[in-house]
Structure formats: structure tokens, C-alpha cells
Structure 1
Amino acid sequence: MEKINQTREVEYNRAKLWQIILFSLNNTSTNIYLFAFGFVTYFATGILGLAVLFVSQIMGYIRIFDGVIDPAIGVLIDKTNMRFGKYRPNIVIGNIISILSFLLLFNIDYFGKELAMPLFIIALIIHKIGYSLQATVTKAGQAALTNDPKQRPIFNIFDGIATSILFSGGQMIVSSFLVVKYGGFTHAFFGAFIPGVMVISSVLALLACVGIWSKDNIAFFGIGEKTKETSLRDYWFVLKGNRPLQMLATAAAFVKFVVQIFSDQVMMIMIFGIVFGNYGLSGTISMILIFTGIAFTVLAAALARKKGLRFAYITYVQVAIISIVVLAILLFIGQPGSLRFDQINIFTILFVLTYAVARGTSQAPAGLALTMSADISDYETSVSGRFVSGLIGTIFSLTDSIASSLVPMVIGFVLAMIGFSQEYPTQNTLLTPELRMMTVLLAAGLPLLMLICSLVFMKFYKLDSQTMVEIQEKIQVMKAAKDKQRAIDIANNVPLSDMEFINVSDYKVDHHVKK
């Protein structure tokens, strides 16, 4: 049989543009807590009086805990089948838990110093449970939202825009307004900052629920009513046998480390407050990053729609590697006063361009991985008949958590080596040769190593644009099978490479499956 025109034959589950836009806000809803989490270290050391090394290690361990519980949360989401769907209940419950955890966390000082340490740990644990519940839906829900390879990258456009505005705009507001108004990371600063975080996150969570509303039912889960039931024992076989999941989750973890270290508030102080002598510059450059971040995101999505998500991911990581090499050189030669916007010089132009490219090209692959997790969920459905988007989403969260947990631990350990064991450097800390070298190591050396590792693992990730078309074609045939058992037989016995022998238009599966 002549090979069919796959892109014309497959009937995709497409979402309306407004649905994609609103659902993408769920990631922003959780990311605003991630942004606020970057200031917890200053609250813990400056207000609660906890030691730097203790706080950095606890923050790392809490992120590891987050990763450990993620698979269980993924199974919980997969097993959820409530009147209001699979995803919406977890968005709402997760957001409420996050609110309660922050109410406790940033009021610990009222309970007395003797309770500061245990309450700090308890509040962090509660927060991570709520955060994981809601954040996992961002990855898992995309499998139900749309399965069109041309439409899925659109999610990254709006997610990238919102993420750029959140992190860059948030940094500007904190460094140029709140820190100035309240005299640093004081109790008054957190009293104004944290309520805003909770309100904005809640509104975005509700909008995300509206976006996923019509897709949050069994008709859009895998192959619908024909989807194979998954026992707890089966989850192990999914993890063991899904090679694309293993490769991408690991590659994305390395990229996550880079994104996390770039946005860490201690690193912001070290780069802008100490190396360049003006922490307020971080707010100014963050305004620029809003526009460059959006541009890189839109270009990444356009490239993904044309060449596939895998191609766009690899291309951006390669560009990020080159830009970080240049960034290392600029940080090594930079001095207080070198970077300035009142009298722009060659160094300022070079640094802003390099820093914007490094941030933009490392952030975009992290966003692409969110959508690629939906591709992996479809791959699993095509080879086993199961729909386990929750588990697959939380495996990414697991590796993300392990990677991001290393950031505060590594920063705390490195700073302790050069004498900052009791408190973090501040914008008033003098620049020393040791502090400069550690800044270059943390801001460029380690990110460079992480991105190279990510490229190595992406070599073994095979879900390119053509393969994804074949996967959607096979899923459509499975949906059209005469019964559930026949659908599962197709999943188990028909390799993707044999899809050219199946006539998608008339679904005469029995006549074309190779024996």
C-alpha cells in the first residue's frame, strides 16, 4: 500500500486559542510561588535568624522531598475521576494548600525563636505538596488540551510571555521598588510582597480552570473509553520501558539547573550587587529581559511548529552554550561601574546582549519540555494503550526538583568555602578575587557543564516531528478499533514503523496489521 498523507488523514483534537492562553496561566500561577521562593532564604536568615548553611541545605532537601512525592502525586492525578474532572480539582486544591503554607511560613517569627526551625521545615513541606499538585497539571493537562503537533507549541508562546513578564517584571518591582521602599528584605517587605503573590496566583489558577474546562473529561484522555486501566504495578513498567521519558526528563533537569541558578536571588546579588556594584541594575536589565524573553519564546515556538519540538530544543541549547562562554569572559573582566545605563558603553551593550541571549535560550527549552511531556504521554498511549499523563508529568517534576534542589545547596556550599557560612553576601559586600571566581563558576561554569550534559541525553530522544505524526495516526486507529481489547492489541502489536501499512481513512486494521 502506498504510504498515506498522514498530516491530512489524522483528525486532531484541537483547542481554541483562548483555551490554550488561559490554561498556560496555570504554569504562571505556580511559577509566581517559585519566584517568591527565591526570597525565602533572606527571610529565614534575616528575620528568623537561621544560619546560611542550614537554610541552603534545608532548601535543597525540601526540593528533593518535592521530587520524591511527585510520582505519588502523578498517580493521584491519573486516578482522579471526579465530577469536575481530573485536572481542575488538583489545580484548586493545590493552590489552596500553597496559600496556607505561605501564611504559616512568613508568620513563623510570631511563634517565637524556639519554634522557628521546626515550623520552617513543616511550612516548606506543606508548600511543596500543594505546589506539586497544581504544577503537575501544567504538564499532564496538555495531553488532553490538544494533540496537534502544530498547535502544541502555541502553548509555549503564551507561557513564555507570561513567564518573562513574571520573572523579569517581578525582579524589577522587587529590586527597584519594594527593596527601596522597605529598606531591604525586611518584615515590612514580606508583608507587602507575599499577599500579592497569593492573590495573583489564585486568580491565574481560576483562569486556568476555565481554559481546561471542556477538555477535562474522559473523551480526551488517551483513547477515551478504550484506554487501558493502569494498576500501581504497571507504573513501574511505564517508567522502565519509556525511553523518551527517561532521556528528556534527564536532559530537562540539566536545563532546569541553569534556569534556576540564573534566577536565584543570591546570584542576582553576586552578579549585579557585587561584581557590578549596583543591585538596582538587576531590575533595569529585567525590564529588557521581558522583551527579549518573549522574542526568544516566540521564535522557539515558531521553530518547533516548523521543525518539531526536538529540533527547537536542541538548537536553543546549542546557542545557550555559546552565549554562556561569552558571559563567563564578561563576568571575569567586569568591575563595579562597568555596567551602567546612564552612560552606555561597549561593555554594557555586550553584557546586556550576552546575558539576554543566555537567559532566553536556556529558558525556552525549559518551556518546550512542558509541551514535550505531552508528546511522551501520547507515545505511551500508542505503545501500551495507557493514559498516564499525571505520572509522566511528575517524573519531569522529580528530575526538575532534584536539579533545582542542588542550586541552593551548591551556592551555600561554595559561599561557605570562602567565608560566608553564617550569612549570604549582600549588595554592600566588597568584591574580592575569590568572590569573583565563585560568581563566574556559579553563573557560567556550572551552567555550561549542565547544558552540554543536556545535549548528550537529547541525542537519544527520538520523538521528532515525523515520529509524532505517526504516533497520532496510530492513536486515531486505536480509537476507531471495534472494542477496547482490539485497541490495546494494536498498541501492543503494531510498531510505529508499520503505520504505513494501516489505512487511516477506512480503519481496516485487521487487513493491514503485519503478522
Structure 2
Amino acid sequence: MFKKKPTASEVDGVQYRRAKLWQIICYACNGLVGMSVYSLIGMASYSASIGYGITTAAVGIILTCSRILDGITDPLLAFVYDRVNTKFGKLRILMVAGFLIEALALYGMFTGFSSKGLGLPVFALLYIVYIIGYTITNMTAQTIPAIMTNDPRQRPTIGVWTTAFNYLVPMAMSMIFNVVLLPKCGGTYNQAFLSAACNMTLLAAGIGTALVCLGVSAYDKPETFVGTKKSEPLKMSDIVEVLKHNKPLQCYIASNASDKLAQQVASQAIINTLFNGILIGNMGLATILTVISMVPSIFFAAFGAKYVGKHGSKNGIVTWTYVSMTITAALVLFFIFGDPTQIGVMGSPSMILYVVLTLLQNGSNMCITTSNTSYMADAIDFELDRSGRYIPAVISGTYSLVDKLITSFAAVIATGAVALLGYTTTMPQPTDPCTSAIFWMTLSLKFGLPLIGWVITLVAMRECPLTKEEMVNVQKRIAEKKAAAQSEFYKEQLQ
């Protein structure tokens, strides 16, 4: 007979809590919310130009300032999160409220007020309202994995499902936008296309919000948010104290923010137009090839989760970062010494090699994302062990503040780059010719920035103390402190 494999609780001597698979999948449907909106807001520069008559340079400034505001609102939400306690819970109320706010703002930005001659003030106001709604939804969602499970083998599983949704959703939205809607709207970005894209996005996000609320319903109760010390009202000094003393969080900020900046620059709609439409020369086929190379690579996430469960989140981030750097360097050489336009020829050797390299790159990136999801939950538990307070919104809010201050430059980098190429009053279109300047600028933004971000990741993770062995000790100390706190509570009740 086969011997049953011991659980993580039996191996580590810690009684871990675990979530059901359907609950994890429902939570991962948050990707329908975040990533569908992410796909749409990447076209904000087109909406600003087409619907509000705002110049390219002004668009970059608006999006950058808005991103900074987004970062400032993140830690402020921690105070709201700390105080929201209703009979319907905390998480579900915040998720629904955030979705409704961002949905109204996006509808106004892309459809309701667009092409009405209203100009910059209305666009900027709608973008600010969108930021408030997005912040509420995103920040609340970031706190959920640590609440659902603290099992070191199961946390990476949450990362697998969230990674799958976070990659599949923008892929599907990209297919719908560029392969279905764009040709129907004349093949260029116009008001009809923006309105159709907005309606599709809000439908997907609404379904995602409902599924997340279903998945977290069992955990959305007051006792879930109790720490190991007496609860006190949250203060601004708590946020400063966390940033100053939580070393794993500091390492994560440096690592993930640099990667995110590169990712957001590369994913801007105008950069995708440069890469797929101009360098490769076939926007529709290039989008399809991206999907083809993405779907199989999702299986890498499952392998990455097993690796993280065995070796720990930190080790997973470092290992897969090295792999991603190697594959990206190969892609750079492929574009420099090959003919990018041959990628757009169905069945050509260049197309096949491009798909294989992109598949491997996407797979290794998914393993990094899976590791990051697990690492953030570890950082929340590290803070509970360190300070005795269970403050997931403060951890995620503090991270998001610094992260968004850094990544706020994504839009201005992208719009500034295309402005240097001569697009000062218009945006790149897939039918534009490829010049030497466009070629090198696109490669720098698509591949150069990620390589720089990964170097920063490797340097930052050298200082991180959260090894797999240390996380077992963290969970043991938390269990002991909670037991002691509960015993003290019972003593007070008997007196």
C-alpha cells in the first residue's frame, strides 16, 4: 500500500488553516476584475486623445500624477479597512463598493462623457474617481490570501490560480479587443471601439466581483481579523513603523516595484502597438501568437507553486528571476539578428522560434508571480509575529504606496518615449512604418527595462531573512502567542 504523504502541519508541527479549492478559485476570479480593468485602462491615453482632445505629453503627465495619487490613497484605505465592520462582513462590502465606484468612473471616461468636447478637467476628474474605486477593490483583494490559508504548501496554490487568471484574462481581453472589436470598428482606435471595450470590461469585472464575494464569505467575519495583542485604533505612525522595521516588506517593495514598472511600461497600449503592429507588422496575428505562447505556459505556474512549497517564497523569486533574465536575453538577440516581420508570416521558422521563446519567458514570469503571491502573505504573517498586530491592509497599503509612486512613471515613460519618436500630437497606429529609432526604442522598453528590474530584484532579495525554515518558526511563534492571548482573555473573563 502507498504510504500517505504527511501534511505540512505534521511535518512542521504547526496547525495550519486551509481553504477549500472552490474558495481559492472564486478568489482568483478577482483577475476578472483587476486584469480586465487593467486591459482597459491601458488605453486611457487613447481615450484622452480621441475622446477629450488631450495632447500626448499632457496625457503622460495626467496619468503619472494620477498614479501618484493612487499610491497615496492606498495606505489611507488601511484606516477604512480597519474600521469597516458590518453584519455583511468587511471584505465583501469593500469589494462591491470599490467595483461600483470604478465602474461608474470608467463608463464615464470611455463612453458617457467621451467625445462630448469636455476636455482635460472632466477626464482628470473621472480618472481620480476611478483610482479611488480601484484602490478599494485592489487593496481589499490583496489582503485575502493571508486570511484564507497560512499553509506553506497551499499558499503557492493560490498563487497558481491567481497567476492563471491574471494572465488568461488580459489575454482574452486582448483577443476580444484586437481581433474581434478593432476590425469591427474600422481597424483603428476610435470612439466606437473604446465604448465597446469599456462595456465588455465592466461585464467581466462585475462577474468577477460576485465570485470573489462568494469565495471569501466563510472568512469574512470579525474573529478573522484578531491579532495576538489587544487591538488599538490604527494610526499613521503604524504605517511608518511597518515600513521602517519590516525587512521582508522592504525587500519585496524594491523587488516587485522595479519589476512592475517594467511590466506596466511594456503593457501600455501604445507600446504594444509599436511592438505587435509596427515591429512585427501584423497586430492581429501577433496578438494570437501571444495567446498561443501564453496558454501552455500557465502550467509552469503549477510547477512553480510546487517549487515554492518545497523551497520557500524567497528562493522561488530568486531562482525564476535568473531563468527569466536568460530567456529575455535570448529574445533580444533574436530580434537584433533576425527579421521581426517574419514573425508575422504564418508557419515561418521565425514565428515558431518566437512562440517557443515567448512561451518559456511567460512560464518563468508566471513562476515569479506565484512566488510573489506567497511572499506577500508571508510578509503579513511576519508582521503579526513581529508586532502582534494583524494588519494586512497596512502591509499591502504600505507596499502599494511605494510601488505606485515608482510605477507612476510607467505612463510618462511610455508616452515620453513615443513623443521622442515624433508622436507629439497623435498616437502610433499599426499601419505606421518601422524605422530604426522605433526598433531600438521598442526593444529597450519591451525587454531592456525588465532586465534592469530583475537585477534590482536579485540585489534586494540578498537582504531578505524570510527563508522557508524561518517561516516555519514564524508560524510556530504566532500559534504560541495566540494561544497565550486566548488564555489571558479567559482569565480576564473569570475574574
Scaled by the length of structure 2, the TM-score of the pair is 0.92
Equivalent position of 1:389 in the other structure: 392
Alignment CA distance shift 1:486-1:251 (3 Å)? farther
Per-residue CA shift, 1:17-50, capped at 9, x if unaligned? 1111111212431221111111121122133221
- Give the residue type in structure 1 aligned to 2:148: L
Equivalent position of 1:96 in the other structure: 100
Cα RMSD (Å) of the superposition? Answer: 2.1
Correspondence 1:325 to 2:325: no
Alignment CA distance shift 1:398-1:359 (3 Å)? farther
Taking the aligned partners of 2:398 and 2:176, their CA distance within structure 1 comes to 33
Taking the aligned partners of 2:318 and 2:345, their CA distance within structure 1 comes to 34
Shift of 1:381: 0.8
2:108/2:114 contact within 8 Å kept: no
1:275/1:335 contact within 8 Å kept: no
1:108/1:120 contact within 8 Å kept: no
Taking the aligned partners of 2:18 and 2:243, their CA distance within structure 1 comes to 28
Aligned residues between the structures: 480
Alignment CA distance shift 1:440-1:111 (3 Å)? closer
Shift of 1:82: 2.1
Per-residue CA shift, 1:285-315, capped at 9, x if unaligned? 1321331341222221121112111111111
For 1:47-446, list aligned pairs within 5 A: 47-107=51-111, 109=113, 112-113=116-117, 115-183=118-186, 184-223=188-227, 226-232=229-235, 233-335=237-339, 337-345=341-349, 347-446=350-449
Percentage identity across paired residues of the two chains: 27
Shift of 1:397: 2.2
2:51/2:116 contact within 8 Å kept: no
Taking the aligned partners of 1:160 and 1:237, their CA distance within structure 2 comes to 31
Taking the aligned partners of 2:272 and 2:419, their CA distance within structure 1 comes to 18
Shift of 1:398: 2.3
Taking the aligned partners of 1:73 and 1:221, their CA distance within structure 2 comes to 16
1:109/1:116 contact within 8 Å kept: no
Taking the aligned partners of 2:402 and 2:234, their CA distance within structure 1 comes to 23
Taking the aligned partners of 1:260 and 1:130, their CA distance within structure 2 comes to 20
Shift of 1:338: 1.4
2:156/2:371 contact within 8 Å kept: yes
Correspondence 1:464 to 2:467: yes
Taking the aligned partners of 1:110 and 1:275, their CA distance within structure 2 comes to 31
Shift of 1:284: 1.2
1:259/1:363 contact within 8 Å kept: no
Taking the aligned partners of 1:16 and 1:22, their CA distance within structure 2 comes to 10
Taking the aligned partners of 1:227 and 1:286, their CA distance within structure 2 comes to 51
2:52/2:123 contact within 8 Å kept: no
Alignment CA distance shift 1:340-1:385 (3 Å)? same
Taking the aligned partners of 2:370 and 2:410, their CA distance within structure 1 comes to 19
Shift of 1:140: 0.9
Q: Which of 14, 17, 22 is the matching residue for 1:13?
A: 17
1:71/1:391 contact within 8 Å kept: yes
DSSP-derived class of the 1:53 partner = helix
Equivalent position of 2:4 in the other structure: none
Taking the aligned partners of 1:482 and 1:41, their CA distance within structure 2 comes to 53
Kindly report structure 1 stretches of 4+ aligned residues shifted beyond 6 Å. Answer: 484-487
Taking the aligned partners of 1:282 and 1:384, their CA distance within structure 2 comes to 50
2:115/2:191 contact within 8 Å kept: no
Per-residue CA shift, 1:180-204, capped at 9, x if unaligned? 1111222221222211211111111
Alignment CA distance shift 1:48-1:482 (3 Å)? closer
Taking the aligned partners of 2:50 and 2:366, their CA distance within structure 1 comes to 30
More moved, 96-105 vs 82-91: 82-91
Taking the aligned partners of 1:146 and 1:65, their CA distance within structure 2 comes to 32
DSSP-derived class of the 1:391 partner = helix
- Structure 2 residue runs of 5 or longer lacking an equivalent are 1-8, 491-495
Shift of 1:208: 0.5
Taking the aligned partners of 2:14 and 2:190, their CA distance within structure 1 comes to 57
- Structure 1 residue runs of 5 or longer lacking an equivalent are 488-515
Taking the aligned partners of 1:126 and 1:484, their CA distance within structure 2 comes to 46
Per-residue CA shift, 1:135-172, capped at 9, x if unaligned? 11222122211111111111111112212211112212
Shift of 1:243: 1.1
DSSP-derived class of the 1:107 partner = helix
Taking the aligned partners of 2:267 and 2:14, their CA distance within structure 1 comes to 41
Shift of 1:109: 4.7
- Give the residue type in structure 2 aligned to 1:313: I
Taking the aligned partners of 2:366 and 2:12, their CA distance within structure 1 comes to 33
